[in-house]
């Protein structure tokens, strides 16, 4: 009889390399502090709930109202009977919010990138993506029939050299706006200039800037004044919006094409209507309460300055995502565990999420973090730094 012993061997290799992972269970909402299922209260510094909308009473009530009206699940794919009023309302709200003709709601950011990037680029096309784009982008592009090349965001000259060759029917440039593991931003203005000069399409994943940047919170492209020149925006809703799923926003023709051709959209059950209703309410709050963004950026700026003064390497971060570069997975785990024992939940990020030799702690700041929580984290980090000389 066949067994799965080979899996156990691989897991042992992961443990030996300090790469084994497990899920820690939280028994509360994800505010600045959480209650762990087994380990009591911790101050949370690894959640993407940047604006604390996941636990906002208005968002929760909007979701509850929708659940009472429309039930718990959608019970079908969108093209069968799974499209309900909250889905349509969210799509209309998001299209207006992002300044696009139309929008489509999908179950996750991963699914959204799969739908866009495995469907629109076709044989004879080229996709150019940042080397450090999210795995959902990379895997989606690999699933398409198009060729692909990578570039570094600090080397758009290579990108232009490729564009200048003009050897493909169509070219798609794909980037994240804020890079999720480094906390720095794409030069979206430079990408817009290149896409206009060479007739390319530009697709921007605003996962970690949606809600947190821009005059009304529409993201980095809005902040940089080029949102109307971006062809397609992918806007995951599981970060600052505090919900789940993702929006794809763009021209009506693109959305119609995805509805009819994108297998990740066609062959999956629609997200629960309550999620759509809660997300729509969160977007309204984002547009009317800019003080949340202001407080988030104040907290992040204070923490970046403090960590730098402590001699910690935060890379090129200029956002509320702040890596502390440590190098080895062993060191990252040791310091993460020390912080956890001290009452601070900070995840260690290791390969394959990041490149070998670049393991780090990834701090995620929330608008509701209090000054004493930020200061306490820095004190705990200062005490944990002594571990650096004990592990490689």
For residue 7, being part of any structural domain is answered with: no
Read off the pLDDT of residues 196-227 as tens digits, 9 standing for 90 and up: 999 999 999 999 999 999 999 999 999 999 99
* Residues paired with residue 313 on neighbouring β-strands, in sequence order: none
Omega of the bond leading into 203 within 30 degrees of 0 (cis): no
The verdict on 296 and 223 lying in the same domain is no
Give the burial class of 268: count Cβ atoms within 10 A of its Cβ; 0-12 exposed, 13-18 middle, 19 or more buried: middle
Instruction: Write the DSSP symbol of residue 249.
Output: E
State the virtual CA torsion across 220, 224, 227, 228 in degrees, nearest 10.
Answer: 180
Q: Look at residues 259, 288, 317 and tell me which one is the last residue of a structural domain.
A: 288
Catalytic residues: 48, 134, 176, 180, 205, 208, 239
For residue 135, being part of any structural domain is answered with: yes
pLDDT at 152 over 90: no
For residue 2, being part of any structural domain is answered with: no
The verdict on 64 and 181 lying in the same domain is yes
Place of tokens 């001699």: 311
**What was the pLDDT predicted at 3?**
83
The overall average pLDDT reported for the chain is 95
**What was the pLDDT predicted at 1?**
66
**What was the pLDDT predicted at 390?**
47
For residue 273, being part of any structural domain is answered with: yes
Q: Look at residues 257, 288, 319 and tell me which one is the last residue of a structural domain.
A: 288
Q: Hey, what are 243's tokens?
A: 């919900």
Read off the pLDDT of residues 235-276 as tens digits, 9 standing for 90 and up: 999 999 999 999 999 999 999 999 999 999 999 999 999 999
pTM for the structure as a whole: 0.95
Cα–Cα separations (whole angstroms), residue 386 to 325, 346, 381: 15, 17, 9
For residue 137, being part of any structural domain is answered with: yes
**How many structural domains comprise the chain?**
2
pLDDT at 157 over 70: yes
276-280, 315-319, 387-391, range with the lowest pLDDT: 387-391
pLDDT at 389 over 80: no
Range of the domain at 121: 57-288
Mean pLDDT to the nearest integer, 267-294: 98
Q: Look at residues 219, 253, 288 and tell me which one is the last residue of a structural domain.
A: 288
Decide if 122 contacts 144 (C-beta within 8 A): yes
Mean pLDDT to the nearest integer, 227-231: 98
The verdict on 85 and 215 lying in the same domain is yes
The verdict on 274 and 295 lying in the same domain is no
Decide if 171 contacts 201 (C-beta within 8 A): yes
Which is more confident, 6 or 319? Answer: 319
Number of H helices, E strands in the chain: 14, 13
The verdict on 126 and 191 lying in the same domain is yes
The verdict on 357 and 313 lying in the same domain is yes
């Amino acid at each position: 009889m066949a067994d799965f012993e080979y899996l156990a061997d691989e897991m042992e290799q992961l443990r030996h390399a300090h790469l084994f992972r497990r899920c820690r269970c939280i028994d509360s909402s994800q505010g600045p502090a959480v209650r762990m299922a087994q380990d009591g209260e911790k101050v949370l510094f690894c959640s993407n709930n940047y604006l604390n909308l996941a636990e906002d009473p208005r968002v929760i009530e909007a979701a509850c109202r929708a659940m009472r009206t429309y039930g718990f699940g959608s019970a079908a794919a969108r093209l069968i009977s799974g499209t309900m009023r909250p889905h349509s309302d969210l799509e209309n709200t998001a299209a207006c919010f992002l300044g696009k003709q139309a929008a489509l709601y999908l179950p996750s950011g991963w699914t959204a990138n799969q739908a866009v990037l495995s469907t629109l680029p076709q044989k004879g096309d080229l996709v150019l993506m940042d080397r450090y784009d999210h795995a959902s982008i990379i895997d989606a592009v690999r699933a398409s029939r198009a060729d692909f090349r990578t570039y570094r965001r600090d080397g758009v000259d290579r990108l232009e050299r490729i564009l200048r060759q003009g050897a493909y029917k169509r070219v798609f440039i794909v980037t994240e706006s804020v890079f999720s593991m480094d906390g720095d931003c794409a030069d979206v203005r430079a990408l817009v200039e290149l896409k206009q000069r060479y007739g390319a399409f530009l697709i921007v994943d605003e996962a970690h800037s949606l809600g947190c940047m821009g005059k009304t919170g529409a993201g980095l492209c809005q902040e940089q004044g080029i949102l109307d020149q971006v062809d397609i925006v992918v806007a995951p809703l599981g970060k600052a919006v505090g919900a789940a799923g993702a929006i794809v926003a763009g021209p009506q023709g693109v959305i119609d094409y995805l509805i009819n051709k994108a297998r990740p959209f066609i062959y999956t059950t629609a997200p629960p209507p309550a999620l759509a209703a809660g997300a729509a309410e969160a977007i309204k709050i984002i547009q009317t309460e800019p003080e949340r963004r202001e407080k988030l950026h104040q907290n992040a700026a204070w923490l970046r300055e403090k960590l730098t003064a402590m001699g910690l390497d935060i890379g090129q971060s200029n956002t509320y995502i702040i890596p502390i570069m440590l190098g080895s997975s062993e060191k990252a785990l040791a310091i993460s565990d020390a912080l956890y024992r001290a009452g601070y939940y900070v995840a260690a990020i290791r390969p394959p999420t990041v490149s070998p030799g670049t393991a780090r702690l990834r701090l995620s700041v929330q608008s509701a973090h209090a000054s004493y929580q930020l200061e306490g984290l820095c004190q705990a980090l200062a005490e944990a730094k002594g571990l650096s000389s004990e592990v490689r």
